[in-house]
Chain A
């Protein structure tokens, strides 16, 4: 009896310590970045742009580019990812073909992002001559997040009760009408969550964008940014730290990125809960 008690106590202690360590690491990281970075975040930095002539510094173009990148990537990846997921779950009979696609998606998700960058540069920038910019970068990221969109959408579709499909088909609805009116709305929460997670990856990605979206940053309209070098926040963090050796600004960007990431995670959690309530809590 005594031995088991001690063992249980030790085990519980170890688990508790792991939990505390995890929280402590997160707190340290957030604390460190904010402490080192927030002091250098200024209105001028957020709204200005870097210029050697005027001796100004700023990340406004990078914020804009990040926004463009999110919009363009989602516009490219969402229709394909959701479409493929609907096809796989609702139309294709389960078999070697569907498991091959799912396996491909899993593998695609595990490939290091620098590889996407390299292939993206060779294919989109060089071969298709799309130039370095939001188009090439966005398409590269779209390929990269496609598995995320596909898998989260698939999971969401599978979670829609079979009885909804039976109900709709029992009333004479065809397959597409069933999907469109009952299954997709039922899966909306999961799809939105997948989107938000994808936005997180887009915001955080740097390696895949170095070769495809470029490292320069000029405030420009979306149309111009499509085909001219347009560094996002994450890329600019690398550029500031590595090329300009300006660690203060790099830390400031890090702080901004961190806040954006936290906001995205909170948003994902809240959207999930809100849509849950809308469905009546089933």
Chain B
């Protein structure tokens, strides 16, 4: 199994507070990898590091290595813009820009130099279809994205991330602010998308991890406790702490 992303002894500090402690993990292609663990365990921080979004936090420091398709993402010669185009991100709270649905989707392609109208139109439609929201918004592409419901906004954000044709999609608790129906639509979508993309999700919801992920990684206090196939991890956890967490004894 090819690892698209792999980390080696990745440690991260916010100031003097260590948030990640030597995490080594492989993310296989065309699988959904779920990062689970209690609040503050470092799973979101780990996710952000994968496309260097952690750098937006002042005073952050990293040690160790992250390889994307075999190349270090911390290589000074690497263009972070290109990295984030390849490794896209969907955030916990839907964050469409205060512009039309169309302009939201076209934002990424335009950033990367696509200007031709016909080409943009095609990308917008393809991305919205891929995010399973085309039918709901096709008649209101010119309306503000903020006028959509929360679940629709999150799917627009997924479409926006897909519009730059990423290789990997990082999703940071993308359904935690949504109602059950919107959540299940996005879960179906994730299962669809893994055919074309490699997906890493952070989730608080054990059922969700069990439903949508192929592999699971359990984090606790900045450490990766264990990682493995989701079925195996949930039926035969190798570590006592994993078992305690997934059976709901803490968290």
Considering only residues 158-180 of chain A, those with a C-beta below 8 Å from chain B are: 161, 163-174, 177
Binary flags per residue of A180-212, CB closer than 8 Å to B gives 1, else 0: 011001100000000000000000000000000
A2 within 8 A of B: no
Q: Residues on A close to B: CB < 8 A? A: 93-94, 161, 163-174, 177, 181-182, 185-186, 279-282
Which residue, of A164, A167, A170, A281, has the highest number of chain B Cβ atoms within 10 A? A170
A174 to B: closest C-beta gap in Å = 6
Q: Are B146 and A170 in contact (CB under 8 A)?
A: no
| Residues on the B chain within 8 Å of A168, using CB | 97, 107, 111
Q: How far apart sit A197 and B146, CA to CA, in the bound complex (Å)?
A: 29
Prevailing SS type, chain A contact patch: helix
Between A and B, 13 residue pairs with Cβ closer than 8 Å are A93-B58, A163-B91, A163-B93, A163-B95, A164-B98, A169-B84, A170-B89, A171-B111, A172-B83, A173-B108, A186-B98, A280-B144, A282-B146
Given contacts A161-B95, A167-B91, A171-B85, contact A279 B146 (CB under 8 A): yes
What is the interface residue range for chain B against chain A? 20 to 34
Q: Are B84 and A279 in contact (CB under 8 A)?
A: no
Q: How far apart sit A281 and B88, CA to CA, in the bound complex (Å)?
A: 28
Q: How far apart sit A93 and B59, CA to CA, in the bound complex (Å)?
A: 10
A-B residue pairs, 8 tightest by C-beta: A280-B146, A163-B95, A171-B108, A170-B89, A172-B84, A172-B85, A172-B81, A280-B144
Q: Are A170 and B147 in contact (CB under 8 A)?
A: no
Residue in chain B with minimal CB distance to A161: B95
| Residues on the B chain within 8 Å of A173, using CB | 81, 107-108, 111
Residue in chain A with minimal CB distance to B107: A171
Which residue, of A164, A171, A181, has the highest number of chain B Cβ atoms within 10 A? A171
Q: How far apart sit A161 and B92, CA to CA, in the bound complex (Å)?
A: 14
Q: Are A172 and B112 in contact (CB under 8 A)?
A: yes
Residue in chain B with minimal CB distance to A94: B58
| Residues on the A chain within 8 Å of B91, using CB | 163, 166-167, 170
Q: Are B56 and A166 in contact (CB under 8 A)?
A: yes
Q: How far apart sit A163 and B144, CA to CA, in the bound complex (Å)?
A: 17
Considering only residues 58-73 of chain B, those with a C-beta below 8 Å from chain A are: 58
Binary flags per residue of B94-133, CB closer than 8 Å to A gives 1, else 0: 0111110000000110011000000000000000000000
Stretch at the interface among B8-16, B157-165, B203-211, B220-228: B157-165
B78 within 8 A of A: no
Q: Are A166 and B53 in contact (CB under 8 A)?
A: yes
Q: Are A170 and B81 in contact (CB under 8 A)?
A: no
Q: Are B146 and A169 in contact (CB under 8 A)?
A: no
Contacting residue for B84 out of A94, A164, A170, A186, CB 8 A: A170
| Residues on the A chain within 8 Å of B157, using CB | 167
Q: Are A171 and B164 in contact (CB under 8 A)?
A: yes
Contacting residue for A165 out of B56, B81, B85, B112, CB 8 A: B56
B87 to A: closest C-beta gap in Å = 9
Residue in chain A with minimal CB distance to B98: A279
Q: How far apart sit A163 and B153, CA to CA, in the bound complex (Å)?
A: 13
Q: Are A170 and B97 in contact (CB under 8 A)?
A: no
Q: How far apart sit A158 and B216, CA to CA, in the bound complex (Å)?
A: 38
Q: Are B111 and A164 in contact (CB under 8 A)?
A: no
Given contacts A94-B58, A279-B146, A280-B147, contact A170 B98 (CB under 8 A): no
Residue in chain A with minimal CB distance to B112: A172
A87 to B: closest C-beta gap in Å = 16
Residue in chain A with minimal CB distance to B89: A170
Known contacts A169-B56, A170-B89, A170-B91; 19 additional CB pairs below 8 A are A163-B93, A164-B95, A164-B97, A166-B89, A166-B91, A167-B95, A168-B111, A169-B53, A170-B161, A171-B85, A171-B111, A172-B85, A172-B108, A172-B164, A177-B111, A185-B98, A185-B99, A280-B147, A281-B146
Q: How far apart sit A131 and B68, CA to CA, in the bound complex (Å)?
A: 64
Contacting residue for A172 out of B93, B98, B111, B147, CB 8 A: B111
| Residues on the A chain within 8 Å of B85, using CB | 171-172
B213 within 8 A of A: no
Residue in chain A with minimal CB distance to B148: A280
| Residues on the A chain within 8 Å of B161, using CB | 170-171
Q: How far apart sit A280 and B100, CA to CA, in the bound complex (Å)?
A: 10
| Residues on the A chain within 8 Å of B81, using CB | 172-174
| Residues on the B chain within 8 Å of A186, using CB | 98
B198 within 8 A of A: no
| Residues on the B chain within 8 Å of A169, using CB | 53, 56, 84
Q: How far apart sit A243 and B146, CA to CA, in the bound complex (Å)?
A: 59
Q: How far apart sit A92 and B95, CA to CA, in the bound complex (Å)?
A: 25
Q: Are A282 and B98 in contact (CB under 8 A)?
A: yes
Q: Are B97 and A182 in contact (CB under 8 A)?
A: yes
Which residue, of B51, B108, B112, B157, has the highest number of chain A Cβ atoms within 10 A? B108
Q: Are A172 and B53 in contact (CB under 8 A)?
A: no
B153 to A: closest C-beta gap in Å = 11
